[in-house]
């Protein structure tokens, strides 16, 4: 059974048990689906290497569509990771995005969609990396689930303690700006995992495409939590 199927089975018998990750009004807000693959002819190597130009392109998409957020990325084979040597592993470059990105304004609040505890946190301060990162651990009736929040503001890590309890819909963080979030346009990287081994404050959000089937066994589709399907996608 894939990781998504395991989590879906838990949610199916508990309707309404999932909270929000970001503020979103299903009746009035809209989402812009952002394609960051080679199929998007608007993306150029020069643009994605320039954080300001990349951010301006995303902001134009949001403004032009009157959307609150841009969203996408789960198991998406992306070209944009050429912007950082961080993803150029020797045997096969990492290009497969394992979570979902929610692009929006710096300072946008981030919430815990499930009750849990602070598993770990760190400031992964490298070009192209997560920047400030938080991992929560959730116990769901025998199913252990981890949720990761990357590209946060540095202030989001202030006062955190390992084991600290977090309630559903409690604000846990905010989107960071490009100076603190790994040098990306402001957004949240949201990812789910069933097992993270010895990882602390970090877990790969981009993997090798050849290992996609392995990732699917451990990394559920975040849409199960976000529940954006059927909303005002443009």
- 208: in domain: yes
In a domain, 139, yes or no: yes
- Which residues partner with 121 through β-bridges? 134
What is the side-by-side strand order in the sheet with 96-97?
Answer: 76-77, 96-97, 206-207
* Cβ contact 126:83 at 8 Å: no
The strand pairing partners of 147, in sequence order, are 136, 192
pLDDT for res 49? 84
Instruction: Specify the residue for token string 């602070």.
Output: 118
Domain count within the chain: 1
Is residue 135 situated within a structural domain?
Answer: yes
Residue 127: inside a domain? yes
Pairwise CA distance, residues 215 & 108, whole Å: 29
Residue 218 in any domain: the answer is yes
CATH of the domain at 208: 2.70.70.10
What's the residue count for the chain? 234
Report the pLDDT value the prediction gives residue 134, as an integer from 0 to 100.
98
Give rounded-to-5 percent helix, strand, coil for the chain.
Answer: 25, 30, 50
Query: Is 158 a domain residue?
Result: yes
Q: Which helix (H) or strand (E) holds 218?
A: helix 212-218
Residue 79 lies in a domain: yes
The CA-atom distances, in angstroms, between 31 and each of 143, 233, 234 are 30, 5, 6
Which has the closest alpha carbon to 155: 200, 199, 107?
107
- Are the C-beta atoms of 14 and 57 separated by less than 8 Å? no
Q: 23 lies in which domain range?
A: 3-227
Query: What was the pLDDT predicted at 87?
Result: 57
Q: pTM, whole model, 2 decimals?
A: 0.92
pLDDT at 231: 53
Q: Give domain status of residue 234, yes or no.
A: no
10-residue mean pLDDT series, the chain (234 residues): 81 88 90 89 85 93 92 86 57 83 97 98 92 97 94 97 98 97 95 96 92 94 85 49
């Amino acid at each position: 059974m894939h990781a998504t199927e395991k989590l879906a089975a838990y949610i199916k018998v508990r309707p309404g048990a999932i909270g929000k990750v970001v503020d979103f009004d299903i009746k009035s807000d809209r989402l812009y689906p952002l394609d960051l693959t080679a199929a998007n002819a608007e993306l150029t190597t020069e643009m994605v290497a320039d954080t300001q130009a990349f951010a301006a392109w995303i902001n134009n998409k949001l403004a032009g569509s009157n959307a609150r957020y841009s969203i996408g990325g789960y198991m998406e084979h992306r070209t944009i990771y050429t912007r950082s040597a961080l993803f150029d592993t020797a045997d096969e470059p990492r290009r497969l995005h394992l979570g979902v990105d929610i692009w929006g304004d710096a300072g946008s609040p981030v919430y815990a969609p499930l009750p849990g505890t602070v598993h770990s946190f760190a400031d992964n301060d490298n070009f192209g990396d997560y920047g400030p990162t938080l991992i929560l651990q959730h116990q769901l009736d025998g199913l252990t689930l981890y949720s990761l929040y990357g590209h946060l503001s540095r202030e989001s890590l202030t006062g955190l303690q390992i084991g600290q309890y977090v309630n559903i819909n409690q604000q846990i963080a905010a989107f960071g700006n490009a100076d603190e979030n790994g040098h990306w346009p402001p957004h949240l990287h949201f990812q789910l995992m069933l097992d993270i081994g010895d990882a602390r404050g970090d877990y790969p959000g981009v993997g090798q495409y050849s290992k996609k089937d392995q990732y699917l066994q451990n990394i559920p589709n975040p849409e199960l939590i976000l529940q954006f399907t059927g909303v005002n996608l443009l």
